[in-house]
Amino acid sequence: MILPDHEIRQYLAEGKIVIEPLSDPDVQIQAACVDLRLGSEFKVFKHTQEAFIDSKNPKQYTEDIILEDGKSLFLHPKEFVLGITKEKIKIPADIVGYVDGRSSLGRLGITAHITSAWVDPGFEGKLVLEISNLGKMPVAIYPDMRVAKLLFFKMASPAEKPYNMRDSKYKNQASVTESKIHKDSSIEWLTKIYKDTNSKV
């Protein structure tokens, strides 16, 4: 069940869902979602001599950009950056969040996320956005603009081990965080196998 606007307001009033700062509730709370604003921090991919990104042993392949008030970031065709929401969110163990792009930006070719739509029950922190320009012209994006919408799904019962009770990689993230896939248990296991195999050669 997706929470409608009046239940979102009720959950916010009761502190079951936290969205801070919620600068303009009348504008941001839609019929069945909450619009989230773009933060001022980004990570952009550097030009490098590396042939590829090794997912099990990544190097520093991005650099930070923090925009001053009133400044914009020009996103060129096929360019990809990591951004972050201005708002910090907190959801309980019986709510799942889902992030989706806004139609108005989508019509300019801008995606707000690629695969990071799911927000686990019990998540707390800011949401990192995987922003890309699929169009043919550069597009200027600005901090504080409404960039994505967050939907809330009510679960049949609370999760036994919500996100905040697990050894989660992005728990309480407050800034743009690069991929931590190399910390997955499966990747660590593969890395050990490769090291053991190479040591026997």
Catalytic residues: 130
Report whether 101 contacts 112 (CB < 8 A): yes
Please state the length of the chain.
Answer: 201
Report whether 129 contacts 151 (CB < 8 A): no
Q: In the chain, where does DSSP find H-type helix?
A: 5-14, 25-28, 103-106, 185-199
Report whether 81 contacts 44 (CB < 8 A): yes
- Closest residue by Cα to residue 3 from 114, 91, 129: 91
- Beta-bridge partners for 73: 141
- Beta-bridge partners for 118: 98
